Amino acid sequence: MRSFIIHMSASTSRRPNADRLCADLPGAELFEAVNGRDLAQIAGVELFPGDLHRPRYPFALCPAEIGVFESHRKLWRKMVDEEIDLAIITEDDLRIDPDRFAVALDMVRAHATPDHYIRLPVKQRETPAAVLEARNGLRLILPRVIGLQCVCQVVGRNAAARLLGATRRIDRPVDTFLQMHWITGQPVHALQGTGNQEVAAEIGGSTIQKKTRPGEALEREVKRAKYRLKLQGYPQKP
């Protein structure tokens, strides 16, 4: 299995962690991220203000979110073009427990096919619609509602092709779009208990930071809560 770590070469504070991931993950290499602030790199992106799909997304995409989305699309395209059946795709703020991760990959290999998209999340918040396997503190599930973040996942080639076809136009962040299985036609599984951590705060902070005016943070939380409530009406089913 090959591994790709999405990393922007200009982010020098993140490079040591990215290099560590290259050493820890199987067949790993750095993959240059798309810079959403570089108009030349996102010239072909068709952007919409949250209204392509229902439920409507209440926030405008920022340049960093556009870059992250296009970085994942660029990798999905590589998988299709090079006929890569399965790949681990991570962002460069991931930290793994190598021993724990090796056990997790054994479980992934027992289930994953080119049709799968399996998240290895850092937050264990998803509740299962179905449990495929549970052992050694790990649990492979079909979440009822798909969780957020794309810090680490195993992606199959057919899943990559499916997602590419569904994202010729974008109106929300990539992790939020992946929740919309009824639009993508792509089920998303989760392997819980891997020990994965997100360490952005230790290596220079998040690449997606937004300044807010007084009172705006509360307003955003209210809108976010309303949006998440609407997602409850679109559960994944076994």
Domain extents for the chain?
A: 2-231
Per-residue H/E/C for 20-32: HHHHHCCCEEEEE
DSSP 146: P
* Tokens 């059946």, residue located: 85
CB atoms within 10 A of CB 172: 26
pLDDT on residue 110? 96
Q: Which fold has domain 2-231?
A: Spore Coat Polysaccharide Biosynthesis Protein SpsA; Chain A (3.90.550)
Question: Taking the CA of residue 220 as centre, how many other CA atoms within 13 Å lie in the half-sphere pointing to its CB?
Answer: 10
Segments in the chain below pLDDT 50? none
**Residues 41-76 as b or e (16 or more Cβ within 10 Å = b):** bbeebeeeebebbebebebebeebbbbbbbbbbbbb
Where does 73-184 show beta strands of DSSP type E? 86-91, 94-95, 117-119, 128-135, 138-143, 152-156, 169-170
Between CA 114 and CA 212 the distance in angstroms is 41
Task: Name which of 140, 156, 32, 150 is nearest 87 in CA terms.
Answer: 156
Between CA 101 and CA 120 the distance in angstroms is 10
138-143 and 2-7 beta bridge pairing: unpaired
Per-residue H/E/C for 208-229: CCCCCCCCHHHHHHHHHHHHHH
pLDDT on residue 116? 98
User: Chain centroid to CA 168: how far?
Assistant: 17
> Tens digit of pLDDT for each residue in 28-46?
999 999 999 999 999 999 9
pLDDT on residue 207? 62
CA R_g for the chain = 17
pLDDT on residue 211? 63
Distances from the Cα of 90 to the Cαs of 104, 231, 238, in angstroms? 15, 25, 27
pLDDT on residue 100? 95
pLDDT on residue 215? 73
